[in-house]
Amino acid sequence: MTIRRRDFLAATAATAGVAGLGIRPTFAQAEPAYKPESGATLRLLRWTPFVKGDEDAWLANTKKFTEATGVEVRVDKESWEDIRPKAAVAANVGSGPDLVMCWFDDAHQYPDKLVDLTELANYLGGKYGGWYDGMRGYAARGDQFIAMPLAAIGNAVVYRDSHMKAAGFSEFPKDTAGFLELCKAMKAKGTPAGFPHGKAVGDGNNYAHWLLWSHGAQMVDAEGKVTINSPETLAAINYAKELYATFIPGTESWQDVNNNRAFLAGQVSLIANGVSVYYTAKGDPKLAEIAADIRTTNFPIGPVGKSVELHQTSSLLLFKHTKYPEAAKAYIKFMMEADQMNAWLTGSSAYCCQALKSFASNPIWTADPIHAPYSRASETLRPNGYAGPLGYASAATMADYVLVDMFAAAVTGQRSPEDAMKEAERRANRYYRV
């Protein structure tokens, strides 16, 4: 690509537009120029929003892009569970949406089908303080970006403060032992907890990985050898069984929407969720009592002795089958720049956590105490493939719900803990062939 002097000067001058939010580039870097192809149109597939402001801000930014370039962008929505299979089909058949907001390490399942975004990612990283390591790992293979890191959707414990206190606790327990006692006490008071053991892309995976990691277990070691069949995993399963006994019935079939609904219906008083459940309650006068009673906190610390959490992550994929790669790159660049990114983060009301470090200064993170547990999701997340490398195996193991199914089978009594571990080991070894 030819870099013109005026492009370089424009990139340098652009820093002025973000000074008001305290966002300062780490170093000046020439700005890549992408000229949309004549007659270009684009189609983006994104996940259905849980916070209306997320979608509104994204569409408003997209409209600004169309007004500036003339490129029409069609934005389609699918449920969280349907994004992964639809993206995989598009990759395999070589047609469909140009861009997809994918989950976790999905990009690593078909990297040869994706456009190299390294030039653009390096420009954005240089301009906005660099990428958070966990977010970068989901979108890059070595030094090559096979996708564009977009956001982490923070996950935190959401609970009714008055119900916790009625159960005899003046403050939320900070360790797993105390957490179990709280859940037992809340069940006894008729205000139980509920965590999904169903195939929930976000909440089910977040919960299962916390259970595993908090007890010092892991799916694989640093070399990618499957290590799920271990004493630490057994301890995690046994703990999960005790927790499950305190839950509302039916959580083994819950998907991502179910805990929200149960909480807002007053059926449960303690869940793990994004900030969306708070804003749903806050926006409905009939739920004002629940909204005022909501508190949020990070997951308690287990025997491993430190905070270890998975947060839902999303990256933007650009498929090679697109007819308009320059228009698509221009769109990604536009949406990631400060004016648009800050508008999206603000519109999302702390639901989406930035992938670029400079945007941590966005005022949304201090606008409400409820936001605090979500504010560092991108910084603190542990990749789902821990402790091994991200790649096809980690992506496929998660897509196949190996870990989620292990806990579900054990807590419901479909398998003994030992047999559940062995089955998870067998299934994981289909993908990790070291």
My answer on whether 371 and 324 are in the same domain is: yes
Whole-model pTM: value is: 0.88
Instruction: Tell which phi-psi region holds residue 89, choosing left (phi > 0), alpha (psi between -120 and 50) or beta.
Output: alpha
My answer on whether 105 and 250 are in the same domain is: no
Per-residue pLDDT, 50:
87
My answer on whether 255 and 106 are in the same domain is: no
Q: Is residue 385 part of a domain?
A: no
Q: Is residue 14 part of a domain?
A: no
Q: Can you tell me the distance from the alpha carbon of 259 to that of 378, in angstroms, rounded to the nearest whole number?
A: 23
Per-residue pLDDT, 9:
31
Q: Can you tell me the distance from the alpha carbon of 397 to that of 218, in angstroms, rounded to the nearest whole number?
A: 13
My answer on whether 272 and 341 are in the same domain is: no
Q: How many CA atoms lie within 13 A of 208 on its CB side?
A: 29
Residue 70 belongs to a domain with what CATH number? 3.40.190.10
Question: Which DSSP string do the residues of 283-322 spell out, in sequence order?
Answer: T-GGGHHHHHHEEEEPPPB-TT-S-----EEEEEEEBTT-
Per-residue pLDDT, 256:
87
My answer on whether 81 and 228 are in the same domain is: no
- The domain tally of the chain equals 2
Q: Can you tell me the distance from the alpha carbon of 241 to that of 46, in angstroms, rounded to the nearest whole number?
A: 35
Q: Is residue 394 part of a domain?
A: no
My answer on whether 69 and 218 are in the same domain is: no
Helix (H, G, I), strand (E, B) or coil at 44: strand
Per-residue pLDDT, 259:
95
Q: Is residue 121 part of a domain?
A: yes
Q: Can you tell me the distance from the alpha carbon of 34 to that of 328, in angstroms, rounded to the nearest whole number?
A: 9
Q: Which residues form the domain of 341?
A: 39-154+311-380
pLDDT digits (tens, 9 = 90+) for 207-246: 999 999 999 999 999 999 999 999 999 999 999 999 999 9
Q: Is residue 6 part of a domain?
A: no
Question: Which DSSP string do the residues of 342-409 spell out, in sequence order?
Answer: HHHHHHTTTSEEESBGGGGG-GGGGS-GGGGGGTTHHHH---TTTTS--SHHHHHHHHTTHHHHHHHH
My answer on whether 193 and 283 are in the same domain is: yes
My answer on whether 178 and 321 are in the same domain is: no
Q: Can you tell me the distance from the alpha carbon of 19 to that of 59, in angstroms, rounded to the nearest whole number?
A: 25
My answer on whether 134 and 60 are in the same domain is: yes
Q: Is residue 352 part of a domain?
A: yes
Q: Is residue 2 part of a domain?
A: no
My answer on whether 286 and 419 are in the same domain is: yes
Q: Is residue 263 part of a domain?
A: yes
Spell out, as residue ranges, where the chain has pLDDT lower than 50. 1-27
My answer on whether 337 and 409 are in the same domain is: no
Per-residue pLDDT, 372:
96
My answer on whether 56 and 66 are in the same domain is: yes
Per-residue pLDDT, 434:
58
